[in-house]
């Protein structure tokens, strides 16, 4: 059972922050492959907030294009079962649905989010992904995540790369031991950003060929 709850922590790490200017109290949990994963406790939430800092290949426009391609999020988001576009409000505002495949006997999670993309300028972009309620009826086989907020800050990096500052906080809903999730929540973001790098590199190669 403990192993299954640990896997829940892995998934919740990337389903989908606060402004990155407040750097206080971040604790480094993992530093692997040039990917730094931090956590910190936030008021009114037993689940720790996550921050990821790394560089990935490509441009801000290419990363934004990948984030907008919601039907293929399962290619790189760890433990993501599927993601489906529900409404395209505009070129830079999308509403989509995500399912997280939890190991038995934990109940799978799902959520509806709205993603807002700033226009890409000078190889920079800002993306906010926030849970929305009452957009889609709840499904009996899932626990609906009641609230989450993810923020992507994308800026120029080095050697043809871009730098990503990503923050994420969530209330997963249901009965989940916060202390146990908090001890493992850094693993999911690490695996996701490793896959994100690989996916961006593969897309760049495909565009050249």
Q: Based on the structure, what is the number of domains in the chain?
A: 1
- State the pairing for strand pair 142-144/147-156: unpaired
Q: Do residues 121 and 58 lie in contact, with contact meaning Cβ atoms separated by under 8 Å?
A: no
pLDDT in tens, the chain (209 residues): 444 433 444 455 544 444 443 457 899 999 999 999 999 988 877 888 999 999 999 999 999 999 999 999 999 998 899 999 999 999 999 999 999 887 666 778 999 999 999 999 999 999 999 999 989 999 998 999 999 999 999 999 999 899 999 999 988 887 765 655 655 677 889 999 999 999 999 887 777 76
Residue 196 carries which DSSP code?
A: H
CATH number at residue 50: 3.30.530.20
Range of the domain at 165: 2-208
Q: Please state the pTM of the whole predicted model.
A: 0.85
3-state secondary structure of 69: coil
């Amino acid at each position: 059972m403990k192993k299954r709850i640990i896997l829940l922590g892995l998934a919740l790490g990337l389903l989908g922050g606060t402004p990155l200017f407040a750097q206080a109290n971040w604790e480094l949990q993992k530093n692997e492959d040039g990917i730094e994963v931090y956590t910190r406790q936030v008021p009114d939430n037993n689940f720790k907030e996550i921050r990821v800092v790394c560089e990935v290949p490509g441009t801000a426009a290419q990363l934004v294009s990948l984030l907008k391609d919601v039907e293929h999020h399962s290619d790189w988001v760890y433990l993501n079962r599927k993601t489906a576009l529900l409404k395209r409000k505009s070129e830079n505002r999308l509403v989509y649905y995500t399912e997280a495949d939890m190991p038995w006997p934990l109940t799978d999670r799902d959520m509806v989010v709205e993603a807002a993309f700033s226009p890409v300028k000078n190889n920079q972009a800002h993306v906010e992904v926030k849970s929305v309620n009452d957009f889609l009826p709840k499904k009996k086989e899932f626990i609906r995540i009641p609230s989450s907020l993810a923020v992507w800050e994308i800026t120029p990096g080095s050697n043809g790369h871009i730098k990503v500052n990503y923050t994420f906080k969530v209330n997963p809903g249901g009965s989940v031991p916060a202390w146990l999730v908090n001890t493992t929540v850094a693993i999911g973001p690490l695996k996701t950003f490793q896959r994100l790098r690989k996916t961006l590199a593969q897309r760049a190669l495909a565009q050249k060929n």
